[in-house]
Amino acid sequence: MSHDAYEAVIGLEVHTHLLTRSKLFCGCSTEFGRGPNENVCPVCMGMPGVLPVLNRHAVELAVRTGIAANCEIAPRSIFDRKSYFYPDLPKNYQISQYETPICKGGYIELPGDGAARRVRLVRIHIEEDAGKNIHEANSSLVDFNRSGVPLVEIVSEPDIRSAEEAGAYLRELRDILRYIGASDGRMEEGSFRCDVNVSVRKKGASEYGVKTEIKNLNSFRFVEKAIEHEVARQIEVLESGGKVAQETHLWDPDREETRPMRSKEFANDYRYFPEPDLPPLVVPPEMIDAIRSSMPELPAARRARYARDYGLSAYEVGVLTAEKDTADYFEAVLPGLKNARTAANWVMTEVLRVSNESGKPIAQAAPPASEVRALLKMVEDQQISLNAAKTAFAAMCKSGKSADATVAELGLAQVSDEGAIAAACDKVIAAEAGKVAEYRGGRDKLFGFFVGQVMKAMGGKANPKVINEILKKKLAG
């Protein structure tokens, strides 16, 4: 029997850091990359007698996430203690939310052609992160800078059917989180992490198969590869008459395979109970209303608008809207230009290139949008050539000068003056009498040569369109 007889059933649990300045329950900084144990205090170190005090902004960002993901926001939710022992968890419990998360239900719509594909959510809840372990030869080292950093866990329904779809879901979720300013979505820094639940079943079956959980996935590519690997493995097991064991697997990025984690005893016996140090979290309706009215346009809406209003392709729309900054910049370049595609092409090639090459955000790497608009306007008005615009743009990125000043300084303005161009054409025709005769005798290919000569005579600044027109007339004799 072939693998085609099976389908994968995949659910994802995403943990993402919220972009707060301070931790969830204490005033320690959340800054990434500090020396070990520099952002720590008695609260996030779990010293006896301390009390957690909830960060309002973390709650606001969780609500923002819930609204963006079409969730129902719970007016009242409870924090619970999740108990387990691990060296990176100083209190021996994690403050999380169990029975009453702050957001319930909701869905993420995946981009794509045709009918929109929805992945439903089970819930989104707030919790604190643990510290970080570094394993040495004979010991482990623990850094608690991350301990207490606010997270939301976003749990999907098992609505995903392929590795590719899992990747699409994660990218869309990350884009949304970045658009709304809830998370920076940096997987490689551990601020956006994903656990995967995978099972397989015969196509058409309504019951779920036994699932395994895959942890330790720190890139979109690894998530996709791990799912592909695990789905194939489970099918092999079933096809050879075996049973899939419910276990947790770790992804091994070097060998590109999953392997079962040594089963932790009672791994799932977390003994949740309501956190006695925190009263119920009440989210006032005013907070929800204020957040709802401050929501930016989300990626899906923006994509639809770009396709509809600017006639851009799905690929172009995808590139322009992947980052909010890029889309905002594109829209700031647009006003007054005749053709949206001029701005789209420019942002996709020149602007993103300088941003990528310098590793800096667009705002720092590229000139202000208004100056790029001025430059593109000159191209549209045939005052400068597209190549001249590229030269000016490169200079503007370095100098910070305006488009006008740069074009003037570099002498890039294009000559469209017909008199000057006609004079240059006459000169070339007079100087190249032999070639003119050949051309008139039927060697059409020589036309390019004459254009080149006129352009050279004009110092490369003549409008090629005007040269073409005038030369054609004159050579026709």
Partner 1 sequence: MALSKITPEQVRHVSLLARLSLAPDEEERIRANMDEILGYIDKLNELNTDGVEPTAQVGDPGMAMRDDVVTNHPDPEAMLANAPARERGYFKVPKIIE
| Residue closer to partner 1, measured from CB, 41 or 422 | 41
Binding mask 23-42 for Zn ion (x = CB under 5 A): ---x-x------------x-
Is residue 362 near Zn ion by the rule CB under 5 A? no
User: In a 10 Å sphere around its CB, with 0-12 CB exposed, 13-18 middle and 19+ buried, how is residue 37 labelled?
Assistant: middle
Q: Which amino acid would we find at residue 436?
A: V
| Residue closer to Zn ion, measured from CB, 44 or 160 | 44
Handedness of CA 63, 68, 74, 80 (dihedral sign): negative
Maximum CA extent, the chain: 100
Question: In this structure, are strands 76-77 and 281-282 parallel, antiparallel, or unpaired?
Answer: antiparallel
**CA atoms of 133 and 128, how far apart (whole Å):** 16
Exposure string for 434-468, b = 16+ CB within 10 A, e = fewer? ebbeebeeeeeebeeebbebbbebbeeebbeebbe
Shortest gap between Cβ of 163 and partner 1 (angstroms)? 25
| Residue closer to partner 1, measured from CB, 27 or 411 | 27
8 A C-beta contact, residue 271 and residue 83: yes
| Residue closer to Zn ion, measured from CB, 33 or 441 | 33
Is residue 43 near Zn ion by the rule CB under 5 A? yes
Shortest gap between Cβ of 141 and partner 1 (angstroms)? 4
8 A C-beta contact, residue 69 and residue 86: no
Q: Which option in partner 1, Zn ion, none does residue 456 bind, with CB closer than 5 to 8 A by kind?
A: none
Exposure string for 363-390, b = 16+ CB within 10 A, e = fewer? eebbbbbebbbbbbbbbeeebbbeebbb
Q: Which option in Zn ion, partner 1, none does residue 280 bind, with CB closer than 5 to 8 A by kind?
A: partner 1
| Residue closer to partner 1, measured from CB, 157 or 252 | 252
Q: Give the bridge partners for 107, in sequence order.
A: 120
Shortest gap between Cβ of 84 and partner 1 (angstroms)? 9
Shortest gap between Cβ of 31 and partner 1 (angstroms)? 8
What are the residues binding partner 1 (CB under 8 A)?
20-22, 27-29, 35-42, 45, 53-59, 76, 78, 83, 85-87, 133-136, 138-144, 250, 261-262, 265-266, 269, 271, 273-274, 276, 278-282
Shortest gap between Cβ of 277 and partner 1 (angstroms)? 9
Distance of CA 441 to the CA centre of its chain: 60
Shortest gap between Cβ of 191 and partner 1 (angstroms)? 17
**Locus of tokens 């079962």:** 260
Is residue 110 near Zn ion by the rule CB under 5 A? no
| Residue closer to partner 1, measured from CB, 281 or 395 | 281
| Residue closer to partner 1, measured from CB, 266 or 315 | 266
Q: Which residues lie near Zn ion (CB under 5 A)?
A: 26, 28, 41, 43-44
